Structure 1
Amino acid sequence: MIKKTPTVALLSTALLLITTSCGTKLRPLTADLVKAEPQPLEAVGGQVPITVHLTFPAKWFPKDAQLTIVPVLRYKGGEKWGAGAGFQGEKVLGNERVVRYAVGSNSSVNFTIPYQPAMQRSELFLSFKGKQGSRVVSLPELKVADGVLATEALATLAGVTPIIAPDAFQKVINEAYDANIMFQIQQSNVRSSELTKEEVTEWQYTVQNANETPNQRVSVEVQAYASPDGGKELNEKLSASREKNTTSVLKGKFRREKLGDVSIDAHYTAQD
């Protein structure tokens, strides 16, 4: 199993924080809500058939949302995309599968991707294209499978001496996610309007989701800056105050969201 360690950084010009709920906003699907079969995938007749089981919890899929799920198999030297499958909220006029907000839905979707020999060492991702009302919603991809068995091709390899080469396996993969909080000139108070903007709320969701995932560890870095607000002495005090206030707000949010075990590493720079 590949163990991911996301480093969730807050750049404070502030770089800041994590906020509260997503409400009825279209959110990313997480690994516990998606299952791909078979594991590993298998080439059959020159194709890679894939069945994806999806769970949309109650009150998860907004009534005005649309979601298209597209499989993509990535391997050394290329990638292959399958046809997409669409879902829609109950208020959307369309012909896709309807997910009702109050009760959610369980659904299975079949995909097929043309097989290439290089796919034996590959990764299957699901790409999500979201829309809510007239607004396009950016959602992260989700990895759901590793490798493709090619039983048909293996039958022709009798007598071939295998060569063992080093691979790119990493026990720990570090990932970083940033969000920016802006301060007014020569001010160090954290404004509520900065905490509720989209990039900060998305960052909060990433922290919460990563912290709840068993094979991930989360650490948060706060980097505060003060430039070009004034001279070096002013910037020194201002950046230190911004770092202190940012860290204090962040710790309070973490306590309320039951994220008290997430470590925070704070720094400040007088002039960047």
Structure 2
Amino acid sequence: MKHNTLKTLSFVTVASLGILACNPLNKMSKNTDVIEVSATPDPLELHGDSVEVNVTGTFPTKYFHKKAKVTVTPVFKVDSQIVKEFDSMDFQGEKADGEAQVINFEKGGKFDFNVKLPYTPELEYGELYAVAEGSYKTKEKALGEIKIADGTVTTPLLVMSDDKPIIGADKFQRITTENLTATVNYLINSPVVRSSELSDADMKQLITDIKARANDSTYVFKALKVDGYASPDGEISLNDNLADDRAKSASNAVKNYLRRYKVSTEDDFYQLQGKGEDWPGFKSEMEKSDIKDKELILRVLQMYEDRAKREQEIKNLAATYVEVADKILPKLRRSEVTLVVDKVGKTDEQITELAANDAAALNVEELLYAATLTNDMNTKLSIYKKVAEIYPEDWRGHNNIGYIYLLQNKLSDAKTQFNKAASIDASNPVVNNNLGVIARLEGDRATAMSYYNKANGAGADVGYNKGIVNIKNGDYEDAVSNFGGSQSFNAALAQLLNGDPDKALSTLEASDEANTAEGYYLKAIIGARKNNKEMVMNNLKSAVGKDASLKAKAKKDVEFLKFDLSSI
């Protein structure tokens, strides 16, 4: 919202001709109609913590006495009283002593300087004046003043302090799936499951697991998946059928144990698939072997797109290389068995009861989950304290205690807990985000941003928190970027401050704050930026209807300088 205001500084006229004759300051005043002065921006604008203005002007030709000096000082006035002075700029004639900017008598001269002040509330409503004072030898004279800008746009101060701490989430899963596996190997061209295979370690473990889970009501048997394979050295037609038969025989072997331990199953429980000859498995086993020239052998075999020709070459290879026949091909004559079993965890009622009376009986995920089953903050806090006590090595206990304290506005207590969480896991992005929130609320934006930069990976809330800092710093483009797709008041504010009122309005209308006093007030400002009087008036009336204090604020807000607000 930057404008230039060109003003003229009229000098004080003097009645006494005698004084004119001896005081060049009076002569300068008499012979000068105007000094041009402008300020950018007008109105002034708050950026970060300060107000900065560029003052430019022109001294006319044959105005500046060669031995005179002039000081121009921007001052901020409220109700005609000076409340702040900016730094001055000094000028001097060609023959004056000093090191100020020299203004030529014949040609005049231009000036251009920036001044900056820390923002204080008294700069919000008032006017900026350029005050000129002249001196000649021992004489001094107030030459005059002119208004060059209106009070400060403080719209960035509307940013909501709704920083977002992050909870250390549980990983509780009521149902966890287990895949119990075993491999059944076969003799060449045979689908028969040998008794020796049922005594192998993996099959014995599978049988033991079936027995244990069949007697535990918390387990649910979901499926038996069996994939049958044949080695790629047999006849193609035989191999396809052989793979199917091997899947059936392995399934039947496991089915016998399921029946023995009274596991109930439906027809779709058994999922069998014959995979045919296992060329990928052959390649994998060859690559893992120490057979000489294995890379060359594989390249040659892969040249045969015709399965029959490749099959013959593998037979020839087995005849030449004993290791292929004895160690690689036998591994491929198999069925892969996967028994899918669901472990069903405790009910919400059981978890709630244990959290209250026997928390140590819950694992850390169950205990953290218990806190999500209540809306009472003190109950949540009690549970998180138990997490920190029973599972002191888990950062989430202290982090979540801090989270509750922060929601309860206990900033110091929250900070202590977040620091304890950081002592357990200093690089954790969630903890760093929360320490950033503490730093921001304490007024240390630089430290806050440092923490947020270490919190990448903790989710969109980190970007949102960065956006708040960006607005506070006056970095509106970065704020828009960090808010991302957030449909929020602050995101809309950032878009407005970055020069996109239409996008700001769209975002604000989609936000939870759209119909709040703050939302209506921001929509009124958007209307002012769009020079839409109806939008300004309608939204201000709605804002004041929800919060009467906004009436006085609006009448002093320079965003609405162009509008008559007497009817709100």
TM-score using structure 1 length? 0.49
Structure having the larger proportion of residues in strand: 1
- RCO comparison, higher one (Cα < 8 Å, 6+): 1
TM-score using structure 2 length? 0.24
| Structure whose alpha-carbon radius of gyration is higher | 2
Structure having the larger proportion of residues in helix: 2
